[in-house]
Structure 1
Amino acid sequence: MSTVIWQMQTDHVGILYLNRPYAANAFSTQLIEDFHHALDKIESHEDLRALIITGKGEKAFCAGADLKERQTMTEEEVVKTVRSIGGLVRRVEQLSVPTIAAINGAAFGGGLELSLACDIRIASDKAKMGLTETSLAIIPGAGGTQRLAKLIGLAKAKYYILTAKRFGSEEAQSIGLIEESVSPDELLNQAITLANQISANGPIGVRAAKQAIERGYERDIATGLEIERHYYLTTIPTEDRLEALQAFKDKRQPQFKGK
C-alpha cells in the first residue's frame, strides 16, 4: 500500500493522507517518493480548488524524519534526504490551490515544517507540536527557521526553536501558528468545511489572491500594491467575474467554472 493516499472528497476538494500510522507518518524515503507522485497528479488536476493534508490515525500528523531510517544513513545520504524533504515542502508551498493542514496528532520537526508550508493550519485539541531539532543536535532543515519566524515573529521563533519546546494546540493558536483547534472527531469535517468555503469562491480569484499575498509579503507597500494590481487585472477578463455579477443580479449563487 502507498505511504501517501490522495483522493477527491468532492468535485473540487481533495485530501492527501500521510499513510504510515505505524511509524507516526514519519518521512521515510518511500513516503517522500510517494508524496511527489501524488503532487504530480494534484498539480495536473483541473477541477481541484482546495487541498487538505492530514495524517492517517489519531496519534500523528507527521513526526518528522524517520529516525530509525536516518540511523542507517551516511552523512551524504542524510544531507540528500534533508534536501529532498525541503524540496517536497517547498513544492507544497508553491501549489496554486489553497492548502489546509489538518494536524490530527503529533507534528514535530519536518512534520510541523510541512504544515508551515500550507496556507491554513487547524489542529486537533489533542495535537502536540514543535520544531525540536536542536534537541537532536541539529536545526530545522526544511524551512522551519524561515517560515516560523515569518509566521509568528522573530523573537517567538527563536524561543521555540532554541528551546526545542513541545506545545499543544491551545498554545499554537495563541501564538498564531494555527487558526482553529477542534476535537479530534471534528477535525477532518472542519477542514472539509473550510475547503468547501474556499472552493465555492471563484477559483481564478482565489489563486490570484494567494499569489498576491505570497509575492507581496515583506515587500514595501508600493511594490505590494503593484503586485496586487497585477493579479487583480488577471481576474477582469474572466467568465467567472461576469457570472458573479449576473448571479448577484439574479439573487442566486454563482456557478464558477474557473474560466
Structure 2
Amino acid sequence: MSLQNPPVNSLSLEFLTDICISVEKLEMDKTCRGLIITSSLPKVFSAGLDIMEMYGKSPERCGEFWRAVQEMWLKLYGSNMVTIAAINGSSPAGGCLMSMTCDYRIMADNPRYSIGLNETQLGIVAPFWFKDTMTNTVGHRTTELSLQLGQMYNPAEALKIGLVDQLVPEDQVSHYSHTNHDQVTTPDRSKSMMRKPTIDKLTSKREADIQNFVSFITKDSIQKSIGMYLEMLKKRKR
C-alpha cells in the first residue's frame, strides 16, 4: 500500500477512511500474504495527522476525525496480516504511530529523515494509546523521555532505541521490504496475545477518548497554539 496524499501524506479524515477501507479489503482477500506500507511521495513517509482537521472545526467534525484515527490504529495494530512499514522518508507524529502498528519497520538510512512522536512541540499531549504503542515498541523510560521532549530521531538513533528494526540504503527500501516479508513470521495467536490488552484498553475507552480529544482540541488556548504553529509553517515556506 503506497500512501499518496500530496504534498506530505497528511492523515485527513478522507485519507484515513481510504486507508481503513483498503486494509479491510486486504484482510478479506485470502490470496493476500501480508501488507507493506510505504510512501509514493519523495522524502516523506507521512507527516502525521492533518493539522487542518484540528483547527477551526466544529466539535462534531473533530469527533468524526478522531474516530477515524482510532479506526486506522485498530485496523493496523490488530491486523491478522504480516505488516511491514517501509519508511522511505520522515515520519513524525501520526506517521510514526502508523509505522509502530506494523510488525517490522525498515527505514531509509538517510540522516535528513526523522521519526518520532513530537506532539509536545504543538502543545498537544499524546493520547494514552499512542503512548502505549510506543511503550510496547521501545520501552517505558525511552517513551517517557521521548514524549516529554517531543523527540525526533534520525535513522541511526531510531535503530538504536528499537523504534525501527533495520536501516537500508534509500533506493533499496522497497527491495528489502519484500525480501524481509517472508522472514518476518508473526503467528496470529502470538501477535494477538501480545497486542490484545492494548487494543482492548482503547476499545473499552473509545467514546471517552473521543470526548477527551474534542474537549481538549477545541479549547481556545489549544486553537491559538495550533494557529501560531500554522503561521510559523507559512513563514517557513516563504
TM bin, normalised by shorter chain, reads 0.7 to 0.9
Q: Distance in 1 between matches of 2:152 and 2:68?
A: 25
- The answer as to whether partners of 1:82 and 1:141 remain within 8 angstroms in 2 is no
Note the alpha carbon deviations across 1:115-134, whole angstroms, 9 max, x for none.
11111111111231110111
Residue number in structure 2 paired with 1:6: none
Residue number in structure 1 paired with 2:129: 143
Residue number in structure 2 paired with 1:237: none
- The answer as to whether partners of 2:78 and 2:192 remain within 8 angstroms in 1 is no
1:42 aligns with 2:26: yes
Q: Tell me which stretches of 4 or more aligned residues in structure 1 moved more than 4 Å.
A: 216-219
Deviation at 1:94, TM superposition (A): 1.4
Residue number in structure 2 paired with 1:100: 84
Deviation at 1:163, TM superposition (A): 0.1
Q: CA RMSD for the aligned pairs?
A: 2.1
Residue number in structure 2 paired with 1:80: 64
1:89 aligns with 2:67: no
Deviation at 1:40, TM superposition (A): 2.4
1:19 aligns with 2:16: no
1:215 aligns with 2:201: no
The normalised TM-score by structure 1 is 0.70
Residue number in structure 2 paired with 1:70: 54
Note the alpha carbon deviations across 1:210-232, whole angstroms, 9 max, x for none.
4224405799xxxxxxxxxxxxx
- The answer as to whether partners of 1:128 and 1:166 remain within 8 angstroms in 2 is yes
- The answer as to whether partners of 1:123 and 1:169 remain within 8 angstroms in 2 is yes
**Structure with bigger RCO (C-alpha 8 Å, 6+ apart):** 2
SS in 2 for 1:121: strand
SS in 1 for 2:45: strand
**Aligned counterpart for 1:52 among listed residues 9, 14, 36:** 36
Q: Distance in 1 between matches of 2:7 and 2:127?
A: 21
What are the residue-to-residue correspondences of 1:107-256 with 2, within 5 Å? 107-126=91-110, 127-141=113-127, 143-198=129-184, 209-216=187-194
Specify every segment of 5 or more residues in structure 2 that has no aligned partner in the other structure, as ranges: 198-238
Q: Distance in 1 between matches of 2:131 and 2:64?
A: 19
- The answer as to whether partners of 1:100 and 1:119 remain within 8 angstroms in 2 is yes
Q: Distance in 2 between matches of 1:50 and 1:112?
A: 20
Q: 1:76 to 1:150 in 2, by over 3 A?
A: same
Q: 1:40 to 1:218 in 2, by over 3 A?
A: closer
Q: 1:216 to 1:71 in 2, by over 3 A?
A: closer
Between the two proteins, the alignment pairs up a number of residues equal to 195
Structure with the largest fraction of helix: 2
Quick one: percent identity of the two aligned structures?
26
Q: Distance in 1 between matches of 2:45 and 2:93?
A: 11
